[in-house]
Amino acid sequence: MSKIKFIGKRLGMSVITLWLITLVVFFVIQLPPGDFVDYLVSNMIAEGEVVTDFEVESMKEMYGTNRPFLVQYADWMKGILTGDWGVSFFYKEKVTVKIGETLGATLAVSFITMIFTYLLSIPIAIYSAKHQYSVGDYLATFIGFIGMAIPNFLFAIILMFLSYKWFGKPIMGLPDMPPTSWPAIKEWVKHMIIPIIVIGTSGTCGLIRSTRAQMLDEQARPYILSTRARGVSETSLTYKYAMRSVLNPVVSGLGGMISGIFNGSTITAIVLMLPTQGPVLLKALESQDVYLSGGILLISAILVVIGTLISDLLLMAMDPRIKDLEESKNEQ
């Protein structure tokens, strides 16, 4: 199978997967009993207003929540394909406008956190594996377990308290995106430190453990032992031979990591007052704002599909056996 066919097959699978995800997402959003009108009516009653059945039916007709599920899904998909993602029931704004307000900050936090995770965890894991049972290995293991055990919101509160003690004010929130001057860039970087550390710690610790285990397994393989016996340096053994196999599981989890960082920082964003998608998605789900929550989850699904596609292409480039396996499957 040529590279073009391999890429084409993966693109086709990505499109089908994305379509199935949109169907599941729109269905799951409407699983809880009630809809946005019920949420609205509950708030109105809580404030002492009297709402008649006729008014409820009129609001359901106005918002379109009384239509069949497939009709609502078809209209939503038609809008997605034509660029009209609908209007948010809760915020009374176009979904694309509301998402655009926080998308830049969300993507910046997500991708910088992902880079931080890889740059920190892989060198630590390699050192830990090459110095098994040393003080550094035990220290990395201890930090890894602590990082996985501490809840992100608690870690964020601790770092905010420390920033208040050291600098006189807690570092929270983010300046306007994008920063347009050097002082604004420095201020933006300063406010990014705590979110990146908090959000990236759990993923970093997990990646350290898995990469270390993979490296230890690779070091005991016969081809590594025979290559070492021929006098090849440890640096070449590690980075020229073992790293190819070690990076395979790391790269294969790229899509899941992107989605986890994108969606998994909601509580941290609330604690740190970050202008990201997490708090907006939470409010949209609470109010059953199907168009806004569906739009945000759709972006998350697109990131997963893109991340998985990139990881497949990187795996093919790093390990030609994957392409050979695809060819053998097609021949059968």
Alpha-carbon torsion, ordered 167, 159, 269, 153, to 10 deg: -150
pLDDT tens figures, 277-329: 888 888 888 888 888 888 888 888 888 888 888 877 777 777 665 555 555 55
Residue written as token pair 């009374």 = 92
Domain annotation covers residue 41: no
Range of the domain at 145: 95-331
In a domain, 234, yes or no: yes
DSSP assignment, residue 237?
I
Which of residues 278 and 144 earns the better pLDDT score?
A: 278
Can you give the pLDDT at residue 332?
A: 52
pLDDT at 129: 86
Share of the chain above pLDDT 90, in %: 0
- Cα–Cα distance, 232 to 226 (Å, whole number): 9
What percent of the chain clears pLDDT 70, i.e. is strictly above it?
89
Which whole-number Å values give the CA distances from 33 to 38, 263, 287, in the listed order? 9, 24, 12
Residue 8 lies in a domain: no
Please count the other Cβ atoms lying within 10 Å of the Cβ belonging to residue 40: 18
Average pLDDT over residues 174-199: 77
How many domains, in total, are found in the chain? 1
| The pair of three-digit structure tokens given for residue 327, joined into one six-digit string | 């060819």
Asked, for residue 18, whether it belongs to a domain, the answer is no
| Residue 262: predicted pLDDT | 66
Distance CA 266, CA 65 (A): 27
Residue 73 has pLDDT above 60, yes or no: yes
Sign of CA dihedral 306, 151, 199, 276: positive
CB 80 within 8 A of CB 73: no
Q: Find all residues with CB under 8 Å of 21, minimum gap 6, and list them.
A: 298, 301, 304, 305
Distance CA(296)–CA(278), nearest Å, equals 9
* Number of alpha carbons in the 13 Å side-chain half-sphere of residue 195: 34
Residues 117-138: pLDDT tens digits? 888 888 888 888 888 888 888 8
With H, G, I as helix, E, B as strand and everything else as coil, classify residue 325: helix
Quickly list DSSP for 281-319. HHHHHHTT-HHHHHHHHHHHHHHHHHHHHHHHHHHHHH-
Give the pair of three-digit tokens for residue 190: 């300063």
pLDDT for the residue numbered 330? 54
Element (H, E) at 87: none
Look at residue 9 and tell me if it is in a domain: no
Query: What was the pLDDT predicted at 271?
Result: 80
Residue 179 backbone dihedrals phi, psi, to 5 degrees = -65, 135
Q: What is the pLDDT of residues 195-216, one digit of tens each?
A: 888 888 777 777 888 888 888 8
Name residue, tokens 């898995």.
210
What pLDDT band is residue 92 in, cutting at 50, 70 and 90?
Answer: confident
- pTM of the full structure: 0.77
Q: What integer best gives the mean pLDDT of the chain?
A: 80
Query: Quick check: is 269 in a domain?
Result: yes
**Do 276 and 106 contact (CB within 8 A), yes or no?**
yes
Domain containing residue 221: CATH number: 1.10.3720.10
234-257 core/surface letters (b: 16 or more CB in 10 A; e: else): eeebbeebbbebbbbebbebbbeb
Establish if 163 belongs to a structural domain. yes
State how far the Cα of 291 lies from the Cα of 22, in Å rounded to an integer: 12
> Residue 90 domain-assigned?
no
Phi then psi dihedrals of residue 87, to 5 deg:
-115, 135
